[in-house]
Structure 1
């Protein structure tokens, strides 16, 4: 396994939070890269004020450095949101951090903060595709957020607010979902807007099914060229609480744990959380039942709820006089307490109560896209031809597919045509067939240097070309011919 993929797996969340009134699902698909995986990331977490924050981001370049940069940008975002900042202020803080950190400039991000109680939602983007809203009937509503510059490039985030109705779904995604093998962002957006209408109605009540079907619909025969990070969040009605009551004899605790297993499956908790909670409850219930003589049945009531913070809280109430005394029963408490995040035992007028609390999440699968067929190291369909550059006087013409491995050559060509940003020059990108984030970052860097030196750097693209669509999304000044 390469270093970049190891870092990516270590930094990607294995789960996204589970919440009663906002059903969230995430996916990460590894694209068919030449060498390095991109620094895409995703996150969903509960904020202290009760709202839920969702985000996807992508750092330019690839490998371990890009993955680490993505994790840092998300950490800054959530620190500001947890302090009470709105989306615009939080993105401004991330922008300042990106400007000061290596490989931060050029990263992009989309954020949504949802109040599950009333559906009021803030969204914001920095150089990133805007989130999509899907109704429960499959209608797609696009948010026409104005294009904004990537993080760390001197821009201002584009933001908006609206009400997410019960049954509506919010979709956040990285560019890898759109560009496929032709590099055309606008075509990808059109396909994505049309995709939900062709899906089965059942998909709109199952976020995992919706995420998987959208990925299958958007993936071309050659597979995804770039990594795809995606978050699907639906405002939903809370699931009913768990309740089990009855008298249990020795050997019968599985009646309770079987019912609990069904409830946890309905919640959609990850396998690790499922096994952890089921084992902890089984240990306590068995300890209660086994403490009674064989002829006496233990009267138990077990309840469970998913809190707004994404924590499953289970209460085990015994009204038949159970006291966890003796090494065997005390050992059961130790085992259960070691499994869950929090265990509390207390006595009231009606008996003994054990409270178990465990933060839970829904698994984020790490999947592989269909491998690209390759010719001389270049993915077929992703480029047509490898990058070429031609320098004539004060004009640099770049054609073909620009990949992460071309970054040094592209920078050197810009350095030469601008004479280290001391003379005016033109960069013609009309023939570019693929344009990853690091190209945008480099162009912003040289535009800023040229402005500081009071010389002109003109970027030229063809109408509706790959470069035109990418630079429009990034709000980078350019001329269309």
Structure 2
């Protein structure tokens, strides 16, 4: 049998099939990414030209895989090839997210790949290496992600279908995790399936006396309404003694008594860890639950079991102690994390320790710089373990690490008060450093602007030396305190007809009170101090299988403190879009634009507040503005503020009518 290597060229003598030069050239020119590796260390023996072009390197032949590409170690890629070499069984994985350092990119590159790894055998049928066919499916994954992001109606249908599930989970689980000065706490909850209404897993983080925090993860046998109701009972029974004294054994004794009375609670497991972030002391007890795992840059270790068995089984419980180093994280988890399909518990447990150690040491995914150590310990560990095996049960993770306290805010003093933009940036940076959730951040930003504006307008100093100070800090139990102090004398509210009269007088402090847990006004002869307090929290991640492999979203650019009011001339009716802050410094410009676009209040106007970054009381009053002596709104406005936006949050608080549905939805409305 012969073959013409260059096609049907009758002027050349045919060469024998399998001629070495031809086979080598054919392999190198294949439009496929193929790499062949030899030995247990996966020394690169051959790879196609397309693969060399893909990795941007031409000098890898003869080098071990991990010496050439160290990234696969922490991202669990080499583990696939290890298993194929050891077992002789082929493996395939799909949509595998990889970060690697590409020389011509200058920074880590994120890609998604399909792998088909096949053993290569030598004499005696022994496995001598691994051949891998690689497909870059990044474009396919990105297109799918874009399609999901853009399919708003499909997403809404999905959210409606899961409303009951999410509502039940959020009612049964903590609404948020406490934010403490010296402790970084995060949690993730992965549902077993889309149609699972609720499970028996739960987590909790309870601040206790003495600057400590109690971490709890538990699991009730079974699923469904009964398991969920039992879980809620156990969580409440554990919370009270922990919150009051931090006594772990007293809390477990109360839960054990409940388990003996309530059949559905019998054999429930729970682990309670008490962390003192000041010195890292850990005190714990595990009632039949998987032991806590501590991981640092140099490795991981499981804490020994300190309880004899689950609740309601007449088991005895004792306390054990250890210490969490400043660069370590402690992870509590449910058994769904180690009882994954295709994994023996012992192997899965060792894999968990290795993966968490890699994540803590920074050998996992790069670029999650905006996430805290505890958050990465939950989310990256979950993705790296579950994406290869899937999961058959709910999975709960609760992580904690020590951290340095975030410096408090200290602004102002004698002289010209700082601009609002400086105050907003400082408070925003402080709240972000603490890890506060979006709702807390928006509440504090609005509160500080309202109280600061109130100090400038209502407190008139007797001398030319104006002093206004802004301070913000957080106590040991997670309550944030914001105070604005001035050296002026409180001025009585002006009445209609007075040049100083403004319709939004009093609205600012009312908004600040509504956005926080407590507001106090201390009026003295030497000045006034307004203090607001709010307990901060960060949301836990309630996830489904399609939300744990999304990659790293681009970090949004910092929003400028510049007000932009954009016409939308191609909209079906008169419409403007407002971008940036609407506060005491920009409200005059906003008022003038409303007058211009409504022709002095005689024409309708849609005001799109989607992109408003701050909505102060002065702007709210402008939206409500009335003619002197009448009850009619001067400007016939239709205010649009979608759910979740800053404007929607504030307008809902003050009760100003607005629509959360785009008035021009489905019509040819240009995006601003």
TM-score by length of 2: 0.51
Question: What corresponds to 1:61 in structure 2?
Answer: 222
1:25 pairs, out of 181, 186, 203, with 186
Mean Cα deviation higher: 58-67 or 122-131: 58-67
Residue number in structure 2 paired with 1:378: none
Does 2:506 match 1:330?
Answer: yes
Task: Name 2:346's counterpart in structure 1.
Answer: 186
Q: Hey, what does 2:312 align to over in structure 1? A: 152
Q: Which residue of 2 aligns with 1:307?
A: 475
* 2:374 equivalent to 1:196: no
Contact 2:289–2:310 (CA<8 Å) still a contact in 1? Answer: yes
Query: Once the 2 structures are TM-superposed, how far is the Cα of residue 318 of structure 1 from its aligned partner?
Result: 1.3
- Structure-to-structure mapping, 1:157-236, within 5 angstroms: 157=317, 159-182=319-342, 184-199=344-359, 201-202=361-362, 206-236=373-403
Say which SS state the counterpart of residue 265 (structure 2) adopts: coil
Q: Give the 3-state SS of the residue equivalent to 2:533 in structure 1.
A: strand
Q: 1:234 and 1:270 mapped to 2: Cα distance?
A: 18
Decide whether aligned partners of structure 1 residues 337 and 190 sit closer, same or farther in structure 2, where only a CA change above 3 A counts.
same
Match of 1:258 in 2: 425
Per the alignment, residue 110 of structure 1 pairs with 271
Contact 2:360 2:377 in 1 (8 A): no
- Size of the aligned set, in residue pairs, is 367
Kindly indicate whether the alpha-carbon contact (under 8 Å) linking 2:483 and 2:530 is maintained by their aligned counterparts in 1: yes
Distance 1:34 1:315, change over 3 A: closer
> For the residues of structure 2 that align with 1:236 and 1:6, how far apart are their CA atoms?
32
1:128 to 289, 293, 300: 289
Distance 2:207 2:420 in 1: 34
Q: How does 1:89-108 map to 2 (within 5 A)?
A: 89-108=250-269
Q: 1:222, 1:370 within 8 Å by CA — same for their partners in 2?
A: no
- Between the aligned partners of 1:323 and 1:46, the Cα distance in structure 2 is 41
Partners in 1 of 2:396 and 2:313 — Cα distance? 23
- For 1:345, the equivalent position in structure 2 comes to 521
Question: Are the counterparts in 2 of residues 105 and 152 from structure 1 also a CA contact under 8 Å?
Answer: yes
Structure 2 residue ranges without an equivalent (≥5): 1-160, 363-367, 495-502, 548-672
Deviations 1:170-201 (A, max 9, x none): 11111111111136332221111111333363
Q: 2: CA distance between counterparts of 1:310 and 1:110?
A: 23
Deviations 1:345-404 (A, max 9, x none): 113464211111100011111111249xxxxxxxxxxxxxxxxxxxxxxxxxxxxxxxxx
Deviation at 1:330, TM superposition (A): 3.0
| Offset, 1:84 | 2.6
Deviation at 1:209, TM superposition (A): 2.3
8 A contact 1:253–1:289 mirrored in 2: no
CA contact 2:488–2:527 (8 Å) conserved in 1: yes
Quickly say closer, same or farther: Cα 1:350–1:118, change in 2 above 3 A: farther
3-state SS in 1 of match to 2:506: helix
Question: Which residues in structure 2 correspond to 1:415-430 (within 5 Å)?
Answer: none
Q: Given the superposition, is the C-alpha separation of residues 345 and 88 from structure 1 closer, same or farther in structure 2, using an over 3 Å criterion?
A: same
Distance 1:297 1:282 in 2: 22
Query: Using the alignment, how far apart are the partners of 2:171 and 2:185 within structure 1?
Result: 21
Shift in Å, 1:147: 6.3
Q: Does 1:288 align with 2:448?
A: no
Name the TM-score, length of structure 1 as normaliser: 0.70
Which consecutive residues of structure 1, in runs of 5 or more, have no partner in the other structure? 372-481
For 2:346 and 2:305, locate their aligned partners in 1 and report how far apart those are by CA, in whole Å. Answer: 14
Per-residue deviation, 1:262: 1.3
Q: Deviations over 1:130-176 (max 9, x none)?
A: 111123x2421211215632212222235311222333321111111
- The structure showing larger relative contact order (alpha-carbon pairs under 8 Å, at least 6 residues apart) is 1
Residue aligning to 1:419 = none
- Contact kept? 1:318, 1:351, Cα under 8 Å: yes
- Write out per-residue CA displacement over residues 114-141 of structure 1, whole angstroms, 9 at most, x where no aligned residue: 2233322211111110111123x24212
Q: What whole-Å deviation, never above 9, does each CA across 1:387-423 have from its counterpart, x for those lacking one?
A: xxxxxxxxxxxxxxxxxxxxxxxxxxxxxxxxxxxxx
CA RMSD of aligned residues (A): 2.7
Matches of 1:199 and 1:302, distance apart in 2 = 39
* CA deviation vs aligned residue, 1:246-294 (integer Å, no higher than 9, x gap): 55679x423212221111111110111111111111111122223479x
The whole-number CA distance in structure 1 between the counterparts of 2:292 and 2:393 is: 19
Q: CA 1:184 to 1:160, structure 2 compared with 1: closer, same or farther past 3 Å?
A: same
| Contact map agreement 1:4 1:64 (CA 8 A) in 2 | no
Q: 1:421: which partner in 2?
A: none
2-side partners of 1:336 and 1:33: how far apart?
40
Partners of 1:122 and 1:344 in 2: how far apart? Answer: 38
Q: Deviations over 1:305-340 (max 9, x none)?
A: 111010111111112445474574433222211211
Asked whether the 8 Å contact 2:329–2:360 carries over to 1, the reply is no
Distance 1:123 1:147, change over 3 A: closer
2-structure distance, mates of 1:200, 1:80: 32
Relative to structure 1, is the Cα distance of residues 324 and 187 closer, same or farther in structure 2, using a 3 angstrom cutoff?
farther
CA distance in 2, matches of 1:115, 1:349: 43
SS in structure 1 at match of 2:204? strand
